[in-house]
Amino acid sequence: MRLGRIVAKAVLAFAGFLAVFPLLWTALNSLKNSVDIITRVPRLVFTPTLANISYILGRDSVITGLYNSVIACGTAVLIGVVLGLPAAYAVARYPNRWAGDIQFFVLSLRFLPPVAVAIPLMVIWLQLGLYDTLPALIVTYSLLTISVIMWLAIPAFQSVPKEIEEAAFVDGYGAYAVFWRIALPVAARSLIGAVAFSFVLVWNEFLIALMLSSSNAKTLPIVASELSQQGMNVPWGILNASVVLLSLPPLLFLGVLSGFLNSVFRQKKT
Amino acid sequence: MPRRSSLPVTFVVPTLVILLILSMVPTLYAIIIALQNRELSSTAYSWVWFSNFVDLFSDRRFLNAVWVSVKWEVVTVVATMVVAIGLGVLMFEVAAPRLRNVYCLLFIIPVLLPRVSAAFVWKFAYHPLYGIATYPYRLLTGGLIFDPLSKPSTALFAVASVDVWQWGLFFAVIVLKLLETLPPQPIEAARLDHAKRWQIHAYVTLPMLKAPLVSLMFVKMIESLRSFDLIYVMTRGGPGVATETLDMYAFSQGFIESGKVSYASAMAVLMMIATVITFTMLWKRVQA
């Protein structure tokens, strides 16, 4: 039994190591000169260089990609918040006989294979003259953000104690005031988690961005993947630096999202 | 709740209308394109009705892609659930609360990474000469070369391991949180009956969690459909067609090799029909 526990702890520690080590190694490689990366025996001791990072940050394509990603994802998330949160509140608080169907419809949008959406949209945007523009990308991403935010916000609104809202009605608040002044602030913690999740989802999105952009509207994941299309001849340090840059924004939400997970499961317990 | 309020209508209707337009227009358009013979290189087209679909069934590369997609789906879903349940139970058994929180944070990190980043990280790690993941093999065998991404027999598993790295660890956190929500009495009772630790989990806790675990598996099945980013960056469908899934093949038919947009769209429509039917049926069963 004691041996079993030791083995179990070792397995867990190894899994924890596996979870972060590849990423740390990439971060480390982004600080290396090629000589220190292309070695048969991995090198832990080396003279660090900032050349890769400054090269990446100095490239126009990377800066444009960063700008496109921020604008496209930020706007799509904003649209998702404005349209998704009120709809989720109405479904959660004013259930009617379509509530179940609405929830299923929102979830079923996730079943659609991304290629099946991207191919026709590419033809549509080409015909409208909007292909390879940010508005086209924003509209397409809004489908993702609205549906995900709605899906996650319905349970968040449901978990707000009904009594608080009823008390507000008794105090003479109207239905809209209750949404603004009571439901939104009380559910805020979970809602922020849902919104952060939708941001990570579109920031990480690749296939649709790849098909809907050719030069002007490329997002950061596309730019990063193109760096590698030039073969492994591109200095590895530069590629590693671009991977690090691409990965940082989602990791900023680590705290928010793990708090969101905790709050979801604490509600289940009670 | 006041019964007569305009709120439900003003809040739900605009959003639903927009969602319906944004989803139905591309879906219907995909079907229309699939019935034509559009190509990227020209704007002329005509209606060919079902000939794209007929062609697909005699296209051996398409049939291969179907098979690879099914393999991908099964391998990633099963491996993710095994890793998640295994690590979740281990954390529940041997990790103290503070350590649990640390593991939970660590295990969420991979899933937050863009798939493109995860794919790059592991593409470097799997490099036969300079990769960190192949280093132990080189060390133990005195410099023999192991190149998982370019051997047809291992390429799919090498790419799938990245998917499991992202999702299996993340789901382990969820399995732990689910175990923590269970009431302690049944576990105590089993312990008093001298049940072994693994027996408690196999016969008491995991059966109690059957419903949420099935839902979790359902989520993973949906997410496993999104394999494109990993495969595109790591193998491009290769070596040969060993890792060419349906979306990869549709993409290369439509955009890389021949620009046959209609043919690619026919494939996408078949995928859409298959997934919508399968998941709708599964969902109804999960809910029931």
Domain with B87, as residue range(s), is 30-287
Specify the pLDDT at position A230. 63
- pLDDT for A235 equals 75
- Mutation target to probe the A interface, by most A beta carbons within 10 A, among B10, B18, B19, B21 is B19
* Per-residue pLDDT at B172: 95
Query: Do the domain assignments include residue B19?
Result: no
B90 in a domain, yes or no? yes
pLDDT band at residue B31 under the 50/70/90 scheme: very high
User: How much is the average pLDDT of B222-240?
Assistant: 87
Mean predicted confidence (pLDDT) in B191-204: 86
> What digits encode the pLDDT tens for the residues A78-130?
999 999 999 999 999 888 888 888 888 888 888 888 888 888 898 899 889 89
What is the pLDDT averaged over residues B198-217? 89
The architecture that CATH gives domain A59-269 is Orthogonal Bundle (1.10)
Residue B3 counted as domain residue? no
- Average pLDDT along chain B: 88
Weakly modelled stretches of chain A, pLDDT under 50? 270
Q: Judge whether B274 lies within some domain.
A: yes
* Option in A111, A206, A254 nearest B109 (CB): A254
- Quote the number of domains for chain B: 1
> How large is the average pLDDT for residues B160-168?
95
Q: Does B173 touch chain A (CB under 8 A)?
A: yes
Looking at residue A234, what is its pLDDT? 67
On whether residue B1 sits in a domain, the answer given is no
- For B241, residues 6+ apart whose C-beta sits below 8 A from its C-beta are B61, B64, B65, B68, B249
- B96-104: average pLDDT: 90
Nearest CA in chain B to A109: B23
pLDDT at B165 over 90: yes
Highest mean pLDDT among A2-6, A121-125, B46-50, B160-164: B160-164
Percent of chain B with pLDDT over 90: 37
A113 touching B (Cβ < 8 Å): yes
In the predicted structure, residue B88 carries a pLDDT above the cut 80:
yes
Residues of chain B contacting A20 with CB distance shorter than 8 Å: 106, 109
Q: Can you give the CATH number for the domain in which B35 is found?
A: 1.10.3720.10
- Judged by average pLDDT, the poorest of A100-109, B13-22, B40-49, B197-206 is B40-49
Residues in chain A: 270
Measured between CB atoms, does B198 come within 8 Å of chain A? no
Domain membership of residue B6 (yes or no) is: no
The reported pLDDT for the residue numbered A270 is 45
Rounded CA gap, A61 and A58, in Å? 9
